[in-house]
């Protein structure tokens, strides 16, 4: 009887020496993955909160409040938090990547959707801050490759495709006397390369592509009381085939 107890004790010691079982390892890995996802969700909330702060500061700046220092700091923090979130999210996905042809696990789908949400923010910034529809469309296309069933990405893609080229009904919203901010609100911001300065005429022109061929509508500003205001609009400002103004970027 004593030998049996000794044998059992020795067997238990051997098991302990060999470390945790496969099932225990799986549980530990699952717990660690859940903890990391909880941390990622918290990081996403921090990014969103800081983005909201930046939006508020931008609104104050537009109203004439001097918030330049606070805005610069908040912008830098958004960049830092976003980079950290992107790295953690990529590591999380790569630790258990989706398998082609198999449905996504719930945690994989959650990670892919968060990545899509972040990508959409970047795409919108390319459009809103720089009028770069081409780059935004590329991003939406890449997101749909990884997340083909995402209706929000599809809707954003369709909206960008519809607004990439200027149409006559949209262009009619611009009137003489409008400020640059009002034109941005009506038509969006043009691509930087499509903003032309004519110092000799004291004129700034914003060109909005109408098609892939290079035709574009033009909004022309002059200074009035220290501010740029629209003095002329021309839907036929650039006709690529007939020459004239340099064909704008699309």
pLDDT over 80 at 30, yes or no: yes
Gap between the Cα atoms of 231 and 242, Å rounded: 24
Same domain membership, residue 192 and residue 235: yes
Gap between the Cα atoms of 210 and 231, Å rounded: 21
Same domain membership, residue 110 and residue 27: yes
At 102 the pLDDT is 85
pLDDT over 90 at 4, yes or no: no
Give the count of alpha carbons within 13 A of 31, CB side only.
6
Same domain membership, residue 98 and residue 210: no
Domain termination site, one of 146, 163, 180: 163
130 compared with 98, residue with greater pLDDT: 130
Gap between the Cα atoms of 55 and 69, Å rounded: 14
Which tokens belong to 237?
């400002």
pLDDT over 60 at 39, yes or no: yes
Same domain membership, residue 187 and residue 123: no
pLDDT over 90 at 13, yes or no: no
Same domain membership, residue 221 and residue 131: no
At 191 the pLDDT is 93
pLDDT tens figures, 157-197: 999 999 999 999 999 999 999 999 999 999 999 999 999 99
Domain encompassing residue 187: 168-242
pLDDT over 80 at 109, yes or no: yes
Is residue 15, in this structure, part of any structural domain at all?
Answer: yes
pLDDT over 90 at 142, yes or no: yes
* Overall number of domains in the chain: 2
**DSSP-derived 3-state class of residue 208:** strand
C-alpha distance from residue 69 to each of 48, 57, 59, 73, 238 (Å): 20, 10, 14, 6, 40
Taking residues 117-131, what's their average pLDDT? 94
Same domain membership, residue 195 and residue 139: no
pLDDT mean across residues, the chain:
88
Is residue 249, in this structure, part of any structural domain at all?
Answer: no
Same domain membership, residue 115 and residue 41: yes
At 234 the pLDDT is 95
Under 8 Å CB-to-CB from 92, ≥6 apart: which residues? 33, 36, 37, 40, 111
C-alpha distance from residue 15 to each of 10, 27, 29, 213 (Å): 9, 18, 20, 74
pLDDT over 80 at 20, yes or no: no
Gap between the Cα atoms of 145 and 61, Å rounded: 38
User: Could you tell me the CATH number of the domain that includes residue 58?
Assistant: 1.25.40
Compute the residue count for the chain.
250
Domain termination site, one of 137, 163, 189: 163
Same domain membership, residue 109 and residue 21: yes
Asked if residue 250 lies in contact with residue 133, where contact means CB atoms within 8 angstroms, the answer is yes
Is residue 50, in this structure, part of any structural domain at all?
Answer: yes
User: Could you tell me the CATH number of the domain that includes residue 214?
Assistant: 3.30.1450
Is residue 247, in this structure, part of any structural domain at all?
Answer: no
Is residue 248, in this structure, part of any structural domain at all?
Answer: no
Domain termination site, one of 163, 178, 207: 163
Same domain membership, residue 68 and residue 153: yes
Gap between the Cα atoms of 190 and 218, Å rounded: 10
Give percent of the chain with pLDDT exceeding 90.
73
pTM for the whole thing?
Answer: 0.79
Cβ neighbour number for residue 56 with a 10 Å cutoff:
14
Confidence bin at 250 (pLDDT 50/70/90): very low
In the chain, the DSSP E strands lie at 195-198, 203-209, 216-224, 227-238
At 100 the pLDDT is 80
């Amino acid at each position: 009887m004593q030998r049996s107890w000794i044998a059992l004790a020795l067997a238990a010691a051997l098991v302990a020496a060999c470390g945790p079982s496969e099932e225990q390892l799986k549980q530990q890995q699952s717990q660690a993955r859940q903890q990391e996802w909880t941390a990622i969700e918290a990081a996403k909330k921090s990014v969103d909160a800081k983005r909201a702060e930046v939006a508020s500061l931008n609104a104050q700046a537009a109203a004439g409040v001097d918030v330049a220092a606070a805005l610069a700091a908040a912008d830098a923090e958004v960049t830092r938090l976003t980079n950290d979130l992107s790295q953690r999210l990529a590591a999380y996905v790569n630790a258990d990547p989706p398998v082609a042809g198999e449905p996504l696990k719930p945690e994989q789908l959650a990670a892919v959707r968060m990545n899509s949400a972040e990508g959409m923010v970047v795409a919108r910034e390319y459009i809103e801050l720089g009028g770069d529809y081409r780059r935004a469309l590329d991003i939406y296309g890449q997101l749909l490759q990884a997340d083909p069933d995402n209706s929000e990405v599809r809707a954003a893609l369709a909206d960008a495709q519809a607004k990439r080229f200027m149409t006559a009904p949209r262009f009619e919203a611009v009137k003489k006397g409008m400020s640059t901010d009002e034109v941005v609100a009506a038509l969006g911001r043009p691509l930087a390369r499509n903003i032309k300065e004519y110092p000799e005429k004291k004129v700034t022109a914003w060109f909005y592509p109408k098609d892939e061929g290079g035709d574009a509508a033009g909004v022309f500003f002059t200074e009035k009381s220290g501010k740029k205001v629209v003095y002329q609009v021309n839907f036929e400002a650039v006709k690529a085939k007939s020459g004239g103004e340099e064909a704008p970027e699309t």
